[in-house]
Structure 1
């Protein structure tokens, strides 16, 4: 009986933790038709989730052709998500970034390379010390061409690593801009313990791996 109760308890906790990812509302997001974001003044937008958005925002802002990186939430079924609600893992959203870029300078395919090259691609539901569905890896596509690029690069990487790549592939629906204090967090808080011990080392690993993609002022 005790063994049975233990199993039931573990199952209940597991199901609660994964409730956001395994329900009809979340499945509807995954099955939806993608929304395509039009170019504004020649600039395009792309959306990625790859663990803590403080880290990801700084990585993309170091890339040539990226005008701005904005922290927020995407991939879930809850309206008006907040940092506190997202952190419960119950909204379906992941911490994500909106990348505003010049497609004449950097392609969507290169942004996907940046994505895979700046994370642990096999870590499920998290990056580094951050764990939970809100930190899971998701790449968002806006059309069939982008979806094909993502799927091909994911398959190639999986074959190269001989491992399952954790990134989920979602049709883009909506990006919710995060709270003001999250924007440019790494730049504004260089002495924060998490920034010093997690974000900056992750950024520096990316810089060492892709020096040819960096803006001149990001090479130092």
Structure 2
């Protein structure tokens, strides 16, 4: 059993018992006019969602699953590490305010990209680090950032982040959305999500929304 599951198994069981018909759905990655969408996986999507939604220029971050082959996977299926999917976020943003390059900076500033199949206390391939791209220009931005971080020895160990083209993104069950906001006193949130976010706030050089 994954450590993250152990921290909140009872709460999750209660949620699922009340919502046995919870479903995931494939999300369109075609943005509205004047907007853009980026997808990242960096461990627990509760943490990632809270981080990206704090950044100026980001309209919304949606928790979900990406990087695998199983269609409409459930949280339990992804957590089994047999679907190929990782917990991920689809970041809806205004490219006139924030660039994809800056979102990549956020991505690397809010995680440890050197731990294979692990982020903090969470272990398994569903918690691996993946920077997704939609085109060649985005791929180059990610690869250039990895080269920069490596050359500057920002991390003590080699970066293991996957650079992968995004194909499908499945929106996670409703109870995962805005989880930190709705469950600030949940043990995992207090012990992992919020400390990770606070660490990001201290080191990130970009613009953050006030009172987030």
The residue number in structure 2 matching 1:206 is: 200
CA distance in 2, matches of 1:38, 1:184: 22
- TM (norm. structure 1) is 0.80
C-alpha deviation, 1:211, in angstroms = 5.3
The residue number in structure 1 matching 2:40 is: 48
Aligned match for 2:152, one of 145, 157, 160: 160
Q: Report the number of matched residues.
A: 183
Map Cα deviations across residues 97-152 of structure 1 (whole Å, 9 max, x no partner): 00000000000000000000110121111100000000000010000000000001
- TM (norm. structure 2) is 0.83
Greater share of helix residues, 1 or 2? 1
Contact 2:29/2:169 (CA < 8 Å) preserved in 1?
no
The residue number in structure 2 matching 1:107 is: 99
The residue number in structure 2 matching 1:140 is: 132
The residue number in structure 2 matching 1:93 is: 85
The residue number in structure 1 matching 2:11 is: none
Residue 151 (str. 1) matches residue 143 (str. 2):
yes
CA distance in 1, matches of 2:87, 2:151: 27
- For the aligned residue pairs, the C-alpha RMSD in angstroms reads 1.3
Residue 67 (str. 1) matches residue 87 (str. 2):
no
CA distance in 1, matches of 2:211, 2:132: 28
Structure 2 spans left out of the alignment, 5+ residues: 1-27
The residue number in structure 2 matching 1:194 is: 188
SS of alignment partner, residue 132 of structure 2: strand
Aligned match for 2:170, one of 163, 168, 176: 176
CA distance in 2, matches of 1:64, 1:101: 9
SS of alignment partner, residue 73 of structure 1: strand
SS of alignment partner, residue 99 of structure 1: strand
SS of alignment partner, residue 64 of structure 1: coil
The residue number in structure 2 matching 1:25 is: none
Q: After the TM superposition, list the runs of 4 or more consecutive aligned residues in structure 1 that deviate by more than 4 angstroms.
A: none
SS of alignment partner, residue 152 of structure 1: helix
